[in-house]
């Protein structure tokens, strides 16, 4: 981060925007540390020495990103309106999430990291760049995104790797709902993602454009033949099949309304990954026709 001139001062901005930017970069600093810890935990779970070494370098990248985010917080903290501390939900969520990565099947651990990196790289960082509109901030975030692109490439590769290599959860770890760390992730995850990701995104990207791009990218990647044997991809398609069924679509619509009424957050961006939005109405109609024909055949057989 010595490539940048930190002696510069930002252009005058409103008090509200200064506070928001400082808080966003404060939280981002912790997010980057969390990402580094996750990469290190995943590295310790891999047997391939080359993969282990690569993910260890990603830990180093994330520590550097954390320092840069802290410097951007100080850069925008011109008037010292308040003392900025990391979000409490993030503090509660972090230890459970790291321990979960240390014990889960690496295929699932990588899937969680990939989702977080996509939200951070495509959605949050790009939206933050546009919202800040500051030359120094833009240059620093662009530099961070160069590293994040390499991370994403490896996350995608490891998804394919886990399709052809048998991966096991850590010995002695509890499975599924018996794993206390997963309970911690589920308990504190919603508050963490709500306050650190989704609420800031509602301010910086009210149209949900960037989150729609994330959903489209995930869908297209999970439809690739090379990843179909990955257990997390199988789970994705099972969930997709349910929510695109008549009953599932109604459940999804009700859940979307409840979330919006309770939190004010608009989760309609999830529909960007639908078959119709990705491949067009014709393929969606064909899929529904094929499903109906299959159900009819099963009824005749019974």
Q: Which two tokens stand for residue 39?
A: 């990469």
What is the average pLDDT across 157-184? 78
| This prediction's pTM | 0.84
Whole-number Å distance between alpha carbons of 13 and 246: 49
Q: Give the pLDDT band of residue 297 (cuts 50, 70, 90).
A: very low
Q: Which two tokens stand for residue 97?
A: 């999430």
| CATH level 2 (architecture), domain 1-206 | Up-down Bundle (1.20)
What are the domain boundaries of the chain?
1-206, 208-302
Angle at 200 between CA 196 and CA 203, to 5 degrees: 170
Q: Mind listing the pLDDT tens digit for each residue in 135-157?
A: 999 999 999 988 999 999 999 99
Per-residue pLDDT at 177 exceeds 70: no
Q: Mind listing the pLDDT tens digit for each residue in 27-57?
A: 999 999 999 999 999 898 888 899 999 999 9
pLDDT value, residue 170: 65
pLDDT value, residue 282: 55
Whole-number Å distance between alpha carbons of 153 and 61: 15
Per-residue pLDDT at 237 exceeds 90: yes
Q: Give the pLDDT band of residue 106 (cuts 50, 70, 90).
A: confident
What is the average pLDDT across 218-236? 94
């Amino acid at each position: 981060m010595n490539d940048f001139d930190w002696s510069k001062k930002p252009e005058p901005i409103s008090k509200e925007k200064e506070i928001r930017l400082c808080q966003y970069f404060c939280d981002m600093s912790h997010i980057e540390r969390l990402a580094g810890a996750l990469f290190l935990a995943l590295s310790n779970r891999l047997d391939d020495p080359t993969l282990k070494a690569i993910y260890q370098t990603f830990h180093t990248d994330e520590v550097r990103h954390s320092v840069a985010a802290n410097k951007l917080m100080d850069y925008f903290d011109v008037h010292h309106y308040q003392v900025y501390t990391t979000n409490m939900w993030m503090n509660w969520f972090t230890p459970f999430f790291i321990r979960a990565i240390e014990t889960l099947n690496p295929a699932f651990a990588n899937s969680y990291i990939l989702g977080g990196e996509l939200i951070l790289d495509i959605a949050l960082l790009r939206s933050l760049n546009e919202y800040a509109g500051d030359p120094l901030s833009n240059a620093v975030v662009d530099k961070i995104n160069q590293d994040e692109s390499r991370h994403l490439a490896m996350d995608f590769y490891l998804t394919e790797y886990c399709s052809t290599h048998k991966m096991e959860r850590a010995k002695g770890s509890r499975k599924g709902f018996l794993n206390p760390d997963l309970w911690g992730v589920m308990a504190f995850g919603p508050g963490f993602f709500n306050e650190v990701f989704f609420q800031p995104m509602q301010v910086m990207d009210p149209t949900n454009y960037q989150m729609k791009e994330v959903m489209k990218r995930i869908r297209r990647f999970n439809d690739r033949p090379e990843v179909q044997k990955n257990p997390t991809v199988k789970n994705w398609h099972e969930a997709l099949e349910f929510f695109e069924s008549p009953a599932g679509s109604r459940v999804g619509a009700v859940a979307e309304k409840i979330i919006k009424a309770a939190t004010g957050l608009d989760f309609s961006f999830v529909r960007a990954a639908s078959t119709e939005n990705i491949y067009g109405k014709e393929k969606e109609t064909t899929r529904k026709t094929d499903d109906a024909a299959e159900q009819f055949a099963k009824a005749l057989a019974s």
